[in-house]
A and B are shown apart, each in its own frame.
Chain A
């Protein structure tokens, strides 16, 4: 059984006369890294909101482990573009927010926290308030806050789009390392084609009006850096094909 099933889903925002997405069909497995790409306003974030359980589809259904998705749950974590870190809490308190709310045993929280602080390089900043950190460090906190909860599905909504190239590359590596050790299903939304090609084991293409999933492609260049492919025509052909799909 697939971890996530999206069947014929359609959604229209109450304030909008036009349908946002229609006839979306998808399945995603555990331990997979999926990237959703598509033009702006196609409904990528709407799809994420549906998977998160923030909104309910008017048509079709979404299931996780065979159970209908009806409301938000820690099993489906999300990192927003603005991260939504809590400025009144320090780094440690932000990261441990989820487990504390779920009343996880303190020893277990401490153990997970220590591992994540090390993996994300945040040990030096554990008592700092999040507003004292740079954009890149904040992103690390946002990722750690999700990974400590060990959700089955983790969604990233344009999370790295505001970062500079160097910091974004660092975040890609951290994400891949955290994903490798957690084995969860990660869904990344991006408008950056190179980010999609690097991070996407599967690339899900959304296009049309209203938006729908037109294709899911297994990416042959998963985890292959753009620089390494500078002289590879096949890479650029694949990139061109993706760009045409989302125009």
Chain B
């Protein structure tokens, strides 16, 4: 996209957000909506400062945030180190596909909350069950993006590599992996999204920490300002993670869409 067009679209995005904020300010200052449903931006800011100073439920806000991020990143870490090789191998080796694919396809459409109670029964109410829930949510997008990438590989890449003397193993590491890398990043971005949407569920049951828990717990007492602080915190972090992944992909996968 040309630079001028890019700045125009960026301006449009900023303007949309500005208009929404303006509407918010108007609605709250003119008391068009009850404060319990939509607190003012000033109140949310003040609550953020208060939570940062004195915490929520006896735990500082940054601790809630770090606990949530730790759960998220641990789950994503395991989903990446297991999902990428599993997806690539499943696409490349028939017998691996025969073993793995039916299991992933079975798990994929099930809402994570459906098996969360089972995970708690098996792994306890501590961190492992929460991380496992997020892991199972993040695994299928990564697996499927890798598997699809291998299925779509231009056959001539594989044939030419074999005719240049590469073994099947060398082809896997030197052709299959780099060809799949752009899709791996796409899968990773989807996985972050799915894990993110699951985080509140993971912290909803048998938990007393994390931003997700803070949102759920404050909702019981109609503390909408606290809920908004948690939601904004998660939203901004989500946008930041996605932006970082996009930048990382642009830097690493410089050949995306080129031949």
Contact = CB atoms under 8 A, between A and B. Distances in A.
Q: Do A and B come from one complex?
A: yes
Contact of A73 (B163, B181, B258): B163
A87 B164 contact: no
Interface stretch (B54-62, B128-136, B167-175, B225-233): B167-175
A146 B160 CA distance: 10
Contacts of B167: 101
Contact of A78 (B163, B166, B258): B163
Contacts of B181: 88
Contacts of B219: none
A22 B145 CA distance: 41
B6 interface: no
Nearest to A79: B160
Contact of A77 (B164, B170, B254): B164
B102 interface: no
A1 interface: no
A101 B157 contact: no
Contacts of A73: 163, 165
A98 B165 contact: yes
A73 B174 CA distance: 17
Contacts of A131: 255, 258-259
A88 B156 CA distance: 15
A44 interface: no
B50 interface: no
Q: Which size bracket describes the interface of A in this complex?
A: 20 to 34
Contacts of B253: 88
B164 A149 contact: yes
Interface in A59-97: 71-74, 76-78, 80, 82, 84-88, 97
Most buried by A among B161, B163, B174, B254: B163
Given A74-B164, A98-B165, A87 B159 contact: no
A82 B254 contact: no
Contacts of A97: 161, 164, 166, 174
A51 to B, nearest CB: 11
Nearest to A138: B259
B161 A101 contact: yes
B178 interface: yes
A149 B163 CA distance: 10
Contacts of B174: 97, 101
Contacts of B157: 84, 86
Interface of B: 154, 156-157, 159-167, 170, 174-175, 178-179, 181, 253-255, 258-259
